[in-house]
Each structure stands twice: as structure tokens, then as C-alpha cells.
Structure 1
Amino acid sequence: MNIKELRIQFGLSQQELAEKVGIPRGRINGWEQRGSKPKVDDHKKLEDFFIHLSKQKLTDIQKEEAEIIGNLEGLLEPENVYKTKSGNEFVDIGNGKIQMNIPLVEHYAYAGYLTGWGDSVFLEELPKHSIIVDKHYRGIYRAFQVRGDSMDNNSRDSICSGDVVVGRSVDKKYWKNKFYLHKWEDYVIIHEGGILVKRITDHWVEQGIIICMSLNTDKSTYPNLELHLSEVYEIYNVVEVSRKRG
């Protein structure tokens, strides 16, 4: 440890270093003049102090870089774009219409979403699904590409494989109350076993269980399910279904 070089590197005088570390200035001057090494206790104090300064300097640099990047992103972002912390993006397209861009979980990304649903970096890297709305909606929204035919019964209510459903998150604090099943019937359920799009037909509040039904009439393949909410990560009520023709 070259005390003088470290001291100068961090812009400290001998007196400032002495006061911050708790070592007499004369002792520090002696080490620098003679090139001698401090004893074990003093060496430990100096080592801890300079390690702390180094870490603090790195943190300051990271903060400065993050601030610069944030400022650049702000400059590059169009004025008519508004982003929320939950990952939604609103773009004013005129005539009172707003394009809402929502993180999209495509069917091949189901497995990744089960582990990354709470990771902001993972969510930021997801593609976007766009819908047209008339205001900035609060809350957490996600779009999911449907996989399988469990919700297809050849009716107008069908949710078919390849459709994209947009869901609004049901906050966990509301799971202790009975769901508004008369208002919202269909849900996206993220749980330990995977991602499901189902119709919730009942909510046993005291037991913490939801009864999930498939619209498909083949009940041998798509039976009703009882899911314990303790095994569920997220629940979204389906607010819109998008389908590509053909």
C-alpha cells in the first residue's frame, strides 16, 4: 500500500486523512517520508478506509452514468410519449386517441415469464402489443398470446389459440375479497404450474381457492380446476381480446 499515492489520488491532505482515519498526522508523514509500512492496526484502518472510498467512487460514477443515460433518453423521447413505472407506454396520436403499448408475453416466452415476471429488466425487453384507448389507464397491464384451445367453444366468447388477451392486474390485496365475477369472467392466471387463460366461476374466499373453467366442451381434456391462491403469482382480468384474421 503506497499511502501517499492513494492519498493524492483521492485528493486528501495528510491532515484530512489523519482526521478521517483516526491516525496522527505525524505518523502518516513519517510513513510517507521514510517509505516505511504501518503496523497491523493502522494498516487495517487505512485499508478499510481506502476500500470504502473506492466503492463510493464507483457508485458515484455509476450514478453519473445513469443520470447521463436518463437525460439522453429524455431528449430522444418524443414529447407525446408517456411511460409508466409498470411498463406501459402511451402515445398521443391525435383526435383524442391514445396508443397504449403493453408488454407482450408471446406463447414461446411463457417459461421465461414464470421466472422473470417481477424483473423490470426482463419486462422492458419484452415486445409490445398496442391497443387504442381514450385516456391514460392506471394499474399494471400485460398482454398474453394465447396457447391452446381450452377457451375455444366456437362461440363469440371464444378465446382462440394465437389470440392476444390484454389483462389488468388484480392486486393481491384484493384476493382476500370475492372477485367481481359478474363484471369480469375471464382471467389470465400465472401460477406455479404455468400460465392459464380461464373463466373463473367461483372464489372460495375462506379457503383461498378459485374454480377455473375452460370454455371448450371437451371436459375430459379440459376439466375444471381448483387453484390455491397460495400457488398463484399474478392474476389479470381480461379486458380486451385481439385476433388476427386468417
Structure 2
Amino acid sequence: MKSKIGCNPAVAERFQELFNYLLSKALVHKQKDLAKLIGATEANVSRLLSGDDRYTTKSMIARINHASGYPFSEDYLLRGEGTLLSDPESRVSERELRETCEEEPSALGSRTLLHLPVIPTTLKAGIGRGILYERDDTQDLEDVYAAYASVPVFLDRETSHRYQLFCVRDDSMMDGTRDSLCIGDILLCREVLREDWTHGLIGRYPNVVVVTEEGVLLRRLTKHDRKQETISLHSLNGGDEDRIIALQDVKAFFYVERLIERHLSTW
């Protein structure tokens, strides 16, 4: 006779709180992301979040802690004692995570945890040189990153070298709608290599970051004229004139893939 499967609603609620915490840190976006992160199936993650006592175990918590880098409390998740993180006030977990990332990338299955500099989107001549273009492979990355704050982010290992973080520094992309990108927002952006530009730059991601000698520009891409080899850029707030930039003047080009952190004080 099969034993009855037990599901505890209170435990389910606390594991859902854990999941929401990982969402807030942009480590996961859906249940399948958590499954991939810890090396489980989506079905098992669903059972975990429903409070199934076969999956809400000490070993599962240990797997999540190891994969995420955060010290989720066993006492809290299983028994409701204490708080979600073992030491939430000191934020030791995040500091230790950053220190670990600075030493070396951490491989987690097909993903890797990198510590990327957050580069401001601002028209300042030469900003990003050495990181976004004219890279010097002989230079120590710590010296290059020293001028910027850094944030840890999980990426697919195969494409991780093509990603960069940018921080919004003006209101050109704020129009009062859900499309707005606010001052202080941190964006995860994927570089499009120069050899791929000829295939066309209008794609599924409408917002782009364009790097020139003039600086770093965040705008909406409205046109790619392949014959003239130019791109047309538009600001959402209408306060800045549309710009046409020759691709020969572009040092690096990125699609804005997703928002890593929303700066709520301006939203």
C-alpha cells in the first residue's frame, strides 16, 4: 500500500518566499530556472514549492544554498523559526558572494556566476575603454573594474563573455509607461559582435546600448539602414532629438535583454 504524500501549506509558503527572494535578485525568473540552477526537474521544483514533504528536506535546502550562494535558514523553511536568511541583517551572504566572484568565476552546471562592473550610460568621452572596446588582454581585470561598482550575475557559460551591466544615468528612456527605464536601473545587455551587424540589428530587443568615442548611449533602436550603414536611435521621453549614427563610429553594440534591478525611488 502506497503511503499518502504529505503537503504542508505553511512550509510551501516559506519555500515560495525563498523563490521570490531569488526572483528579486534576478537569479531566476521562472520555476524552470530554479530547476536548472539546482540540477532538478521542473516537476520536482513544483512539488517543492507546493510543500511536498518528499522534497522540502535538509538536503534540498543545502542544494539551493550551494547553487545560489545565499544561506537560507533550515530552521525557518522547515519549522518557521527565525528568518529566511541565516544572517539577514549583516548581509554577509551578499558580501561573501561578491568576494568569491572577485576571486574566480563559479561554475554551476551550464551556468556561471560572474562579478561584472556596472558601467553608467553617460556621454563621457572614453568611458568603457578597456572594458567595452580596445580591450587589453594583458591587463589585470581587477585594475580595469576598479573604477566601477560590481554586481554578481548568473549567466549561461557559453555566452557569458558577451554580457555587460549598464546603469541608467538620464531620463531619456522614461515616458511614464511600463516601457520606461529609470535613472538607477541596472540592465543586463548582450553584445552583438561586429561581424554580425551586417545581418541586421533590428530584432526582438528594441532597446540598445551604443558605445562610441563620445560615450555610452541608451536608446530605442528604430532603424538599421544597411545600405548607408547607419542606425537611428530614439529617446522615449521625447526630450532629446533622434540620432543617426554611422556604424563605423560605433565601438560596441548591445541589446538590452532584461532589467536586473529596478531603482524604485524614481519609479
Amino acid at match of 1:119: R
- 1:110 deviates by 5.1
Quote the sequence identity (%). Answer: 24
After superposition, the C-alpha distances for 1:2-33 in whole angstroms (9 at most, x for unaligned) are xxxxxxxxxxxxxxxxxxxxxxxxxxxxxxxx
Q: Does 1:175 align with 2:204?
A: no
Q: Which has the higher contact order (CA 8 A, sep 6+)?
A: 2
Q: CA deviation at 1:106?
A: 3.6
* Aligned counterpart, 2:253: 235
Calculate the TM-score normalised by the size of structure 1. 0.55
- Give the partner amino acid of 2:168: V
- 1:158 corresponds to which letter in structure 2? S
* Other-structure match for 2:168: 146
> Quick one: which amino acid aligns to residue 228 of structure 1?
A
* Aligned residue-pair number: 157
Residue 132 of structure 1 and its aligned partner are, at CA, apart by: 4.2
Query: Aligned runs of 1:1-246 on 2, under 5 Å?
Result: 89-90=105-106, 92=108, 99-106=113-120, 111=125, 113-117=127-131, 118-120=134-136, 121=139, 123-125=144-146, 126-133=148-155, 135-138=156-159, 139-179=161-201, 181-216=202-237, 218=238, 221-241=239-259, 242-246=261-265
Distance 1:81 1:226 in 2: 38
**AA paired with 2:219?**
K
Return the TM-score normalized by structure 2. 0.51
Unpaired segments ≥5 residues, structure 2: 1-98
Q: Is the 8 A contact 2:120 2:216 kept in 1?
A: no
Q: Please tell me whether the aligned partners of residues 201 and 211 of structure 1 are also in contact (alpha carbons under 8 angstroms).
A: yes
How far is the alpha carbon of 1:149 from its aligned partner? 0.5
Distance in 1 (alpha carbons) for counterparts of 2:165 and 2:119: 6
Unaligned runs of at least 5 residues, structure 1: 1-76, 84-88
Amino acid aligned to 2:228: Q
Q: Give the greater-gyration-radius structure (CA).
A: 1
Cα offset, 1:243, TM superposition:
1.2
